[in-house]
Chain A
Amino acid sequence: MRSLSDAKSESDLNSVKGIFFGKKGTLSEIMKGLSGLPIEERKQVGAAANAARQTLEAAFDARLAEFRERERKTRDAAGLIDVTLPGRLPAAGHRHPISRTMADIVSIFNRLGFSTRLGPEIEKDYYNFEALNFPADHPAREMQDTFFMDGPSSDLLLRTHTSPIQIRTMESSRPPVRVVAPGAVYRCDSDITHSPMFHQVEGFAVDQNVTFSDVKGLLTEFCSMMFGERKPLRFRPSFFPFTEPSAEVDIECVICGGKGCRVCKGSGWLEILGCGMIDPAVFGFVDYDPDLYTGFAFGMGVERIAMLRHGIGDIRLFFENDLRFLSRF
């Protein structure tokens, strides 16, 4: 048995095994010698030899298992890797919060049956103002500080809203239309809450029997999908040249829950949307019959919603492209 524990490897073990079990091994010799013994003695020695064989075999098997386990461990240790090291391909980057928020808004309206339309950022006065019922020389134009393009024709400007897409869409298709129109817009204004370039999502629908109550229902649905819970909304009369009646939509302040705080200027409400029924004058420009069709339109500022969503206080952060900021999203 000592030679068994002295064995250092599987081959050592095999040679030891040969000493006992081989053709000329101890046990074989004993078994061979049995035939020369008297029957009584033969029985006794045979039984003892068998018991010894079983004990030895068990001991060999255990020792073998021990070697195999040790060998496996050695082999594994050679291929061991540190799974905490970084992966070989670059870690994923980050989507810009404005782009992501805009995509989220658009995708909600896509699901609600609105198809996406885009439009040019350098726009004609006609589409940005005139056909949207902003007459030339009307104070309503002062609501939107406009960048004009330099050149012989003063007709080109940077669109101040995504609403020109309403006109472009209606010019090229007949009702029913249901469109959501995202994009960059521009106004000459810059401070902590205003950027000369920002983003809007506009949407509108025209059909027979479209009502103000429909836009109220649609936007209520949108807000609960966008802001997660059924937050109270408030529709308040307002003025936009291209809709009448018009409304500003306020949502209960997401910061203070309506109690009043610095963000909502103590009112408990945050203005997030504008909407209204498309003005019949606009239909006049695209040759839709206002006695047959009605339509609603709505619009929202993407930066404002992203700021509320992510708790961002300064709009300029969106355009600094600092990876320390972007990598939060």
Chain B
Amino acid sequence: MKILYSWLREFIDTRLSPSQLQEALTMAGIEVSACRFLGDGLDLVVVAKILEKKQHPNADKLSLCRVTDGEREYGIVCGAKNMSEGDHVALSKIGAKLPNGLEIKKAKIRGEASEGMLCSETELRLAEESAGIMILPPDSIPGTPLAVALGLSDHLLEIEITPNRGDCLSVLGVAREVAAITGEKVVLPGTDFPESGEPIGSFASVTVSDADHCPRYSARVVSDLLIAPSPAWMQRRLSLCGIRPINNVVDITNYLLLEVGQPMHAFDLDRLTASGIDVRRSGIEREFITLDGIRRKVLPEMLLIWNGDRPVAVAGVMGGENTEVLPSTSRVLFESAHFAPSAVRFAARRLGISSESSYRFERGVDPAGTVYALQRAISLLSRHTPLVAAPGTIDLGGDRTFGRSVSFRPSQADRIIGRAYGEDGCRAIFDRMAFPIAISGPGAWQVRVAPHRFDIEREIDLVEEVARLTGYDSIPTTYPESAAPEFSADDRLTATVERASEYLRTQGFSQVLNYSFVSEKELTRHANLLGYDPSDAMRLANPLSDDMTVMRPDLLMGLLRNVSSNVRRFVDEVRLFENGKAFGKSLANSLFEEQRLAFALYGHRLPGAWSGAHEWVDFFDVKGITETVLNVLGAGAVHFVPTRSRSFFVEGQAAEIIMAGETVGWMGVINHELLSAFDIERPVCYAELRIPIALSNVERPAIHREIPKFPPVFRDYACIVPSVAAVGDILAMVRELTPEIASAAVFDVFTGEKIGEGKKSIAFRIKLQPSDRTLTESEVNSIHTKVLNLLDNRFGGKIRTS
């Protein structure tokens, strides 16, 4: 919201300068984000008079103007059309640097010299929008600095109002805040005007059927007025504050909206029938044309202003086209009411309208201020527009008491803030806010809160006022008393994932961070390859764009895209990992999501072709890293089971990783078709791990065993088995044969013509290590026989004799 310093001074004669005001308001929670002197940048801008205007010889859309500043003449090329000879305009001379940053230089435009520029209000930052250049009043004197001619020795403050402080959305509201900060007094400007003619009752009648949602409805009538433009000063204030001037009647309602924060509506009285005004809900769904000409669907719950049996406005949101003020209007009924925030918010949201009026009603408008706003409006309007004000004010609900009493214990301010305010400190603040205090018991007060402060309902709200207006600077800095922190499961998760991340980093992986939402179009395009299941998808109801429509089902697509884009940027070795969540309806353990750790390898197995390391990464590179990551994560024993169900992997080069019967992750070599869909030419190896499963392993303390005192015995085996036999399975079974077999490890696998089709040769070594003795020759032989039998019986393995 924008506030003019001069306007504020009409309500409070503050000693604070504009910049002091900026600081004081900001430090009281009314953030002033900018404070601009309106004369800035207008040093070389003066009033000029147009002596001659003619068409630019070489450009249809440009004209050539000869203007004078009273001393000399200037030739100006101008793109606007709205000026005529004899008009007074704002001329910025060569060298001027305008408030919008534009520098004026001597220029030749299509062959014609321009010795300056004729300015629009937007260029001078006197309005947010403008059509054509600014035309000044005819009595302006050429040569006068524009800042002097327009009285621009003023400051414009830009204020950010938090949603709880709707009362500050006006000059009066900010003035009250200044009073609460400084102790200075707010003085309301007078509202005198003469009344004459028939009393208001003979023109209009009002009933309020829904008093719950319209606790107060005030109105006045004026007649015999002429619709005309508002005076220049009023138009300037409106423009500077972001509202486009329209005519004297509409402008006065907007002026009061800005000045006292009371949204008002002007009905053309001649377009209202004699059946009077009522306030009640729509009751049925109906169509209604608002004054912006749009046909809108009104819902039964919406609060409307009625004239007989037809709606004439959506209460607090927008008036209707049917009773809008027209250039021919001569009699006006001004409405100044209080509508419940919830009613206005409902209608504004459902209709998709956010007007200056609804914005304020939603945040709470002072119900005690409706009549003052009416009086002030007519008083101001009557100063520049001849009119007849009908005697009397309609004021339904005016006899109610607004505002509330709130219980307050001064000791609570000290307890919650940690600073000694004491009763005196609290009382001083409430005095400045003009909140009367009644003592209701020892250390217990009843504080009478002014009706415009909708945000103060509870003791804590008053504590906040005491802290805020005394100043946060005066609050000491203490340190909270410490209790020993508990170590949560999430601490463990965070620390463990951090360790795994650091391991991956040391293995050359860089961490990426992708959006959790991805393009469903893209997922669907490669649905078969990615294994995308649309029925499991968690979709956004209101995505920001087409490529962020669905929550990612896993981390794969993001990482593939990252590999691809980095390869295209000429990076040869790409190793990436991501910690993040995957989402899906089936992940119902939490709210449809699961923490994952995924990584992708692309490029050479080892860097440095200099040493002969030319191989691309393969399955066993990602497997080795996966095993270590699982170990760092504290996962228990895992099995790598060949899988065909992950369509994004090359068939036969993929494994499901099983821990205690559950899938803890999957890994493999990415399918070629998928790679080419992502424009990747070399192999990508990938693994994705489910963190909650990996962490579900309970690590028990290891139990010490005697270190063997005797040397181990080794036996090597080379045998031919069917190529489908899994080495991991063979070795696992060998290990289980007898406790004396301390380990069994493969050291060679190969296939070839010599071995024969459908067969492979494996070589492995077992270590025999009983802890308490040396094995006898016959024991070793017996174990040897068991191994041979197992190989033969279970795997059809034939021992190779070399």
| Residue A98 at the chain B interface, CB threshold 8 Å | yes
Is A238 a contact of B29 with CB atoms below 8 Å? Answer: yes
Is B512 a contact of A326 with CB atoms below 8 Å? Answer: yes
Give which listed residue, B363, B475, B485, B551, contacts A122 with CB less than 8 A.
B551
Q: In the assembly, what is the distance between CA of A309 and CA of B613, in Å?
A: 39
| Residue B295 at the chain A interface, CB threshold 8 Å | no
* Residues on A with beta carbons closer than 8 Å to the beta carbon of B415: 209, 211, 294
Is A116 a contact of B491 with CB atoms below 8 Å? Answer: yes
Distance to closest chain A CB from B681 (angstroms): 18
Give which listed residue, B566, B575, B591, contacts A322 with CB less than 8 A.
B566
Closest residue on chain B to residue A93 by CB atoms: B510
Distance to closest chain B CB from A38 (angstroms): 73
* Residues on A with beta carbons closer than 8 Å to the beta carbon of B583: 121-122
Is B511 a contact of A326 with CB atoms below 8 Å? Answer: yes
Give which listed residue, B27, B419, B573, B608, contacts A88 with CB less than 8 A.
B608
Q: In the assembly, what is the distance between CA of A326 and CA of B578, in Å?
A: 13
* Residues on A with beta carbons closer than 8 Å to the beta carbon of B592: 122, 156
Number of interface residues of A (CB under 8 A): 91
Residue-by-residue, is B464-484 near A (CB-CB < 8 Å gives 1, otherwise 0)?
100110001101111111111
Is B591 a contact of A244 with CB atoms below 8 Å? Answer: no
Is B478 a contact of A322 with CB atoms below 8 Å? Answer: no
Stretch at the interface among B4-12, B158-166, B663-671, B716-724: B158-166
Give which listed residue, B346, B472, B608, B611, contacts A137 with CB less than 8 A.
B346
Stretch at the interface among A11-19, A26-34, A58-66, A214-222: A214-222
| Residue A235 at the chain B interface, CB threshold 8 Å | yes
Stretch at the interface among A40-48, A70-78, A140-148, A254-262: A140-148
| Residue B802 at the chain A interface, CB threshold 8 Å | no
Number of interface residues of B (CB under 8 A): 98
Is A213 a contact of B539 with CB atoms below 8 Å? Answer: no
Is A188 a contact of B418 with CB atoms below 8 Å? Answer: no
Give which listed residue, A93, A117, A158, A178, contacts B575 with CB less than 8 A.
A93
Q: In the assembly, what is the distance between CA of A214 and CA of B418, in Å?
A: 8
Is A116 a contact of B490 with CB atoms below 8 Å? Answer: yes
Is A103 a contact of B608 with CB atoms below 8 Å? Answer: no
Q: In the assembly, what is the distance between CA of A326 and CA of B490, in Å?
A: 27
* Residues on A with beta carbons closer than 8 Å to the beta carbon of B494: 106, 116, 118, 182
Is B472 a contact of A150 with CB atoms below 8 Å? Answer: no
Q: In the assembly, what is the distance between CA of A184 and CA of B579, in Å?
A: 11
| Residue A138 at the chain B interface, CB threshold 8 Å | yes
Is A326 a contact of B508 with CB atoms below 8 Å? Answer: no
* Residues on B with beta carbons closer than 8 Å to the beta carbon of A323: 510, 566, 569, 571, 574
Distance to closest chain A CB from B280 (angstroms): 21
| Residue A129 at the chain B interface, CB threshold 8 Å | no
Is A213 a contact of B505 with CB atoms below 8 Å? Answer: no
Is A207 a contact of B483 with CB atoms below 8 Å? Answer: yes
Q: In the assembly, what is the distance between CA of A329 and CA of B477, in Å?
A: 35
Is A214 a contact of B511 with CB atoms below 8 Å? Answer: no
Assess A90 versus B573: contact at CB under 8 Å? Given A139-B163, A212-B475, A239-B163: yes
Is B491 a contact of A238 with CB atoms below 8 Å? Answer: no
Assess A91 versus B162: contact at CB under 8 Å? Given A214-B478, A280-B458: no
| Residue A149 at the chain B interface, CB threshold 8 Å | yes
Assess A122 versus B591: contact at CB under 8 Å? Given A96-B512, A235-B475, A245-B467: yes
Give which listed residue, B166, B484, B565, B608, contacts A321 with CB less than 8 A.
B565
Give which listed residue, B363, B460, B506, contacts A92 with CB less than 8 A.
B506
Is A220 a contact of B507 with CB atoms below 8 Å? Answer: no
Is A321 a contact of B477 with CB atoms below 8 Å? Answer: no
Give which listed residue, A138, A149, A213, A246, contacts B540 with CB less than 8 A.
A149
User: Which residue, of B166, B362, B472, has the highest number of chain A Cβ atoms within 10 A?
Assistant: B472
Assess A210 versus B480: contact at CB under 8 Å? Given A99-B501, A148-B540, A323-B566: yes
Which of chain B's residues 336-394 have a Cβ closer than 8 Å to chain A? 342, 345-346, 349, 362-363
Q: In the assembly, what is the distance between CA of A137 and CA of B342, in Å?
A: 7
Is A216 a contact of B463 with CB atoms below 8 Å? Answer: no
Distance to closest chain B CB from A172 (angstroms): 10
* Residues on A with beta carbons closer than 8 Å to the beta carbon of B165: 239
Closest residue on chain B to residue A219 by CB atoms: B477
A-B contact count (CB 8 A): 266
Residue-by-residue, is B584-608 near A (CB-CB < 8 Å gives 1, otherwise 0)?
0000001111000000000000111
| Residue A247 at the chain B interface, CB threshold 8 Å | yes
Give which listed residue, A205, A236, A237, A246, contacts B480 with CB less than 8 A.
A205
Q: In the assembly, what is the distance between CA of A150 and CA of B571, in Å?
A: 39
| Residue B330 at the chain A interface, CB threshold 8 Å | no
| Residue B487 at the chain A interface, CB threshold 8 Å | yes
Which of chain A's residues 81-117 have a Cβ closer than 8 Å to chain B? 85-96, 98-99, 103, 106, 110, 113-117
Distance to closest chain B CB from A230 (angstroms): 12
Is A221 a contact of B479 with CB atoms below 8 Å? Answer: yes
Assess A236 versus B487: contact at CB under 8 Å? Given A92-B506, A214-B478: no
Which of chain B's residues 254-313 have a Cβ closer than 8 Å to chain A? none
Is B508 a contact of A93 with CB atoms below 8 Å? Answer: yes
Is B345 a contact of A137 with CB atoms below 8 Å? Answer: yes
Q: In the assembly, what is the distance between CA of A196 and CA of B513, in Å?
A: 13
Is A90 a contact of B508 with CB atoms below 8 Å? Answer: yes
| Residue A10 at the chain B interface, CB threshold 8 Å | no
Is B608 a contact of A94 with CB atoms below 8 Å? Answer: no
Assess A139 versus B362: contact at CB under 8 Å? Given A218-B479, A321-B513, A322-B565: yes
Closest residue on chain A to residue B585 by CB atoms: A151
Distance to closest chain A CB from B525 (angstroms): 20
Is A178 a contact of B483 with CB atoms below 8 Å? Answer: yes
| Residue B195 at the chain A interface, CB threshold 8 Å | no
| Residue B449 at the chain A interface, CB threshold 8 Å | no
Stretch at the interface among B57-65, B73-81, B541-549: B541-549
Which of chain B's residues 492-511 have a Cβ closer than 8 Å to chain A? 493-494, 498, 501-502, 504-511
| Residue A20 at the chain B interface, CB threshold 8 Å | no
* Residues on A with beta carbons closer than 8 Å to the beta carbon of B233: none
Is A117 a contact of B488 with CB atoms below 8 Å? Answer: yes
Give which listed residue, B164, B483, B539, contacts A140 with CB less than 8 A.
B164
Q: In the assembly, what is the distance between CA of A265 and CA of B33, in Å?
A: 9
* Residues on A with beta carbons closer than 8 Å to the beta carbon of B539: 149-151
Closest residue on chain B to residue A205 by CB atoms: B480
| Residue A202 at the chain B interface, CB threshold 8 Å | no
Assess A216 versus B345: contact at CB under 8 Å? Given A86-B610, A121-B593, A236-B29: no
Is A217 a contact of B516 with CB atoms below 8 Å? Answer: no
Distance to closest chain B CB from A272 (angstroms): 15
Is A114 a contact of B485 with CB atoms below 8 Å? Answer: yes
Distance to closest chain A CB from B628 (angstroms): 13
Is A94 a contact of B516 with CB atoms below 8 Å? Answer: no
Is A217 a contact of B480 with CB atoms below 8 Å? Answer: yes
Q: In the assembly, what is the distance between CA of A23 and CA of B611, in Å?
A: 55
Closest residue on chain A to residue B504 by CB atoms: A93
* Residues on A with beta carbons closer than 8 Å to the beta carbon of B460: 244, 277, 279-280
Give which listed residue, B33, B467, B490, B610, contacts A117 with CB less than 8 A.
B490
| Residue B798 at the chain A interface, CB threshold 8 Å | no
Give which listed residue, A151, A197, A213, contacts B475 with CB less than 8 A.
A213
Is B508 a contact of A91 with CB atoms below 8 Å? Answer: yes
Distance to closest chain B CB from A249 (angstroms): 10
Q: In the assembly, what is the distance between CA of A106 and CA of B497, in Å?
A: 14
| Residue A123 at the chain B interface, CB threshold 8 Å | yes
Q: In the assembly, what is the distance between CA of A237 and CA of B611, in Å?
A: 64
* Residues on B with beta carbons closer than 8 Å to the beta carbon of A265: 33
Is B538 a contact of A324 with CB atoms below 8 Å? Answer: no
Is A318 a contact of B513 with CB atoms below 8 Å? Answer: yes
Q: A196-B548, A236-B31, A237-B464 are known contacts; what are 19 more A-B pairs with Cβ within 8 Å?
A: A91-B508, A93-B575, A94-B510, A95-B502, A96-B510, A99-B579, A124-B591, A148-B542, A176-B483, A184-B581, A197-B517, A212-B467, A213-B477, A236-B472, A237-B468, A238-B29, A265-B33, A321-B562, A322-B566
A-B interface, 8 closest residue pairs, ranked by CB to CB distance from nearest? A90-B508, A211-B418, A237-B29, A213-B418, A239-B162, A217-B477, A93-B510, A245-B464
Q: List 10 A-B contacts (CB under 8 A).
A: A110-B491, A138-B163, A150-B538, A178-B480, A184-B580, A217-B476, A220-B477, A239-B163, A244-B460, A321-B513
